[in-house]
Structure 1
């Protein structure tokens, strides 16, 4: 899957260099924490490299952050930004790069997912990364229907990621707060009660204080574990509707077969009535 994904990148006209830790194996991790941290810093620092595309979701991302030479990393804020692409557990690296370097990063498919990407996913990558113009993420005709939880429109900076990883960041220096921002989140392979717990924790921690809008993406394989469970939509209604900000559910964001690529840190407008997320300013030069 990874090799086919690399060929997809080459079809985009990119020259691909593979980090030394990508093929390392240590249980569920790609080698030791320091190896991944050194790889990341090398790719971010090397002036011949224009962007970093994560191999896959990357469970060890938060551990990678802890092993970074933070002084060397933060010095990169003085350099021109690079494209950074990944999703799922890579949420921790998005939070790090956007908060410490001020770069726009891209929440989009990892290289392994590109191996069998749909036309929708590939078109989303092309529009977000290679075309310097505004674009929209909309419902897929004949595939999905967006549910409006709270009507209205909102404009703000886009922030978010994979819900359980956002919850893991609560109480750390990388906690993502949505004051003045439009939040997006998605999830995969969790019980409804875990979604409930993650959202409840983030609300209690103040993450949603001042948030101006919420976009909920795919929740692939999120299931009820007991006959007495709430449905996912009930959880969203219980916890998010009282925030009284524009909110809609089921845009193609996250672990579904069709995946939009979103620029974290860009200015966006949410139309919750019609389920449209418009990126207002080009995220690439």
Structure 2
């Protein structure tokens, strides 16, 4: 796995919008944050475009994504927001110049597509983290964690025990992201390599029955046969039918993984909440699930 360089003062971060369109207030707040950290920023050429829900037509957004991958000076690519649209761009991207100057790809939610692309096509580590659309509402700890992973390429987290956790430990690279996006990539050329990895999953605005179906899809695709650990992040604004589904998020995952013995930790603070801690995907990480807490470093 290729590990891009840690950022230092005066390094350049480019901002792109591969999915939904930008909002200027949040964009300017993100640029100010980077400047306050001593970094330089640059907007992609078509960043301010809009077409329907998207930040411009596919051709413009794809051109901006290729521009960012190819950029000769950028050290990181920060995606403005998720929503939907990134998967429309990844076919026929040329990785040649990126591989000569690897960069951190940063984002979450729909940007799970790019994390998977980075894992399986670019063979390069990436950062699952907050995005410009969210930073005004993010907690200070969320922003601190992003700064830490950018400047030191390190993590050190611990969080309280959930009674449904499965005790154990693993040392491996983390992969994953949004459950719906991840399952949509199963069986494609952009499915990440799950072998020997720690899988992180988060979700928002889904019905419990659909989460259950997607978890069966992971199981039937053999994902749980290959991973060494499972981290469950925020499951936000989860919906149920008038007649309750009858299972909790914890029960849904434990049912599909009962024949495996890898460690499982619930309640990690990453995903679609104001507290959205940054995760380094593709770097070897120690994952401990203990009786009183879980640790990731």
- Ranges in structure 2 where 5+ consecutive residues have no aligned partner: 1-25
Aligned residue number for residue 254 of structure 1: 271
Q: Deviation string for 1:206-243 (max 9, x for gaps)? A: 22222110000010111322333122222122113333
Asked whether the equivalents of residues 152 and 271 of structure 1 are also in contact (C-alpha less than 8 Å), the reply is yes
User: How many residues are treated as equivalent by the alignment?
Assistant: 270
Asked whether the equivalents of residues 151 and 246 of structure 1 are also in contact (C-alpha less than 8 Å), the reply is yes
Aligned residue number for residue 271 of structure 1: 288
Aligned residue number for residue 129 of structure 2: 108
Asked whether the equivalents of residues 177 and 208 of structure 1 are also in contact (C-alpha less than 8 Å), the reply is no
Aligned residue number for residue 240 of structure 2: 224
Mapped pair 1:18 → 2:15: no
TM-score of the aligned structures, taking structure 2 as reference length: 0.85
Aligned residue number for residue 233 of structure 1: 250
Mapped to 2, the partners of 1:78 and 1:48 lie a distance apart of: 13
Shift of 1:8: 1.6
Aligned residue number for residue 214 of structure 1: 230
Asked whether the equivalents of residues 164 and 250 of structure 2 are also in contact (C-alpha less than 8 Å), the reply is no
Asked whether the equivalents of residues 69 and 98 of structure 2 are also in contact (C-alpha less than 8 Å), the reply is no
- Ranges in structure 1 where 5+ consecutive residues have no aligned partner: 280-285
Mapped pair 1:182 → 2:198: yes
* Runs of 4+ displaced beyond 6 Å: none
Aligned residue number for residue 12 of structure 2: none
Mapped to 2, the partners of 1:256 and 1:201 lie a distance apart of: 25
Mapped to 2, the partners of 1:123 and 1:100 lie a distance apart of: 30
Across the aligned residues of Structure 1 and Structure 2, the Cα RMSD in angstroms comes to 1.8
Asked whether the equivalents of residues 215 and 252 of structure 2 are also in contact (C-alpha less than 8 Å), the reply is no
Aligned residue number for residue 158 of structure 1: 174
Shift of 1:277: 4.1
Identify if the C-alpha distance between structure 1 residues 26 and 18 changes in structure 2 by more than 3 Å, giving closer, same or farther.
Answer: same
Identify if the C-alpha distance between structure 1 residues 275 and 266 changes in structure 2 by more than 3 Å, giving closer, same or farther.
Answer: farther
Mapped to 2, the partners of 1:58 and 1:188 lie a distance apart of: 11
Give SS of 2:200's match. Answer: strand
